[in-house]
Copies of this chain bind each other. A is one copy, B any other.
Amino acid sequence: MRSYGQYCALAKALDLVGDRWTLLIVRELGLRGPSRYTDLQHGLPGIATNMLADRLREMEDAGIVRRDAAPPPVATALFQLTERGQELVPVLFALGRWGTALMGERAEGDEFRTHWLKYPLEQLFADAAPSEPPVTIELRTGDQPIVVEATGGAVRTHPGGADKPDAVVTGEPDVVIGLLKRRLDLREAKRRGLRVDGDAKALRRLQPLG
C-alpha cells in the first residue's frame, strides 16, 4: 500500500495494516497460532494464492509476522505473529465488535469457518452463573465442531468435539448464532432446522454482553 503520507498515528497504522486481506491474515494467525501456508488458505476463503504470499512477505517486512522453519517431523514453513503482531488483537476485537451488528442472515455464498467463532464467543459472552459447576456445549455448525465451556464467569472455546457435552447444538451458523445472541428463540431456531441434543438449559449459561 502506498503511504498516506500523514504524520498521524492512525494513518501510520493503516500504512501497515490497511491493505486488503492484511487484518484477516492477522485474525487467522491470532486464532490458530503458528500456521502453515495451506492452513491459512483454508481459513481465508476467497484469497488468491499470490495475494497471500505477497501479504505474508509485506507483513514480515513490517515486523508483524515471523516465518520459521518448522522442526523436522513437519519440515515446512510456519507463520506466526510477532509480539507486535499480537498487539493487533485488541484492534480485531474493536472492529469485530462493531461488525457483530452486521451478522444477521448469512448472505448467499458467504463462507464460514467454525474457528472464526472463538473471539466472538470468548469476548462477547459471559458465564451467567459463575458459581455453578462448568457446562460444556458442543456446536456443530461449520467445517468442524467447536467446544464452548462456561466456567467460573468466563467462556472458553477450543476446536474439536467434547467428551461428555451437556448439550450439542447442530444447525446452520446464522441460526446457531441467532440463538446464542437471543435474537431467535429456541422454537424459531428449531423451525429453521436447528437441533439441540442433551440439556437445552445449559445454553442459558452463555450470556450475551453489550
Contact = CB atoms under 8 A, between A and B. Distances in A.
Nearest to A109: B5
- Specify how many copies of this chain sit in the oligomer: 2
Nearest to A102: B12
Given A4-B24, A46-B6, A90 B94 contact: yes
A205 interface: no
Dominant secondary structure of chain A at its interface with chain B: helix
A99 B24 contact: no
A98 B88 contact: yes
A110 B13 contact: no
A99 B45 contact: no
Interface of A: 1, 3-18, 20, 23-24, 27, 45-46, 84, 87-88, 90-103, 106-107, 109-113, 116, 120, 173-174
A-B CB proximity, top 5 nearest:
A13-B99, A9-B99, A12-B102, A94-B94, A7-B110
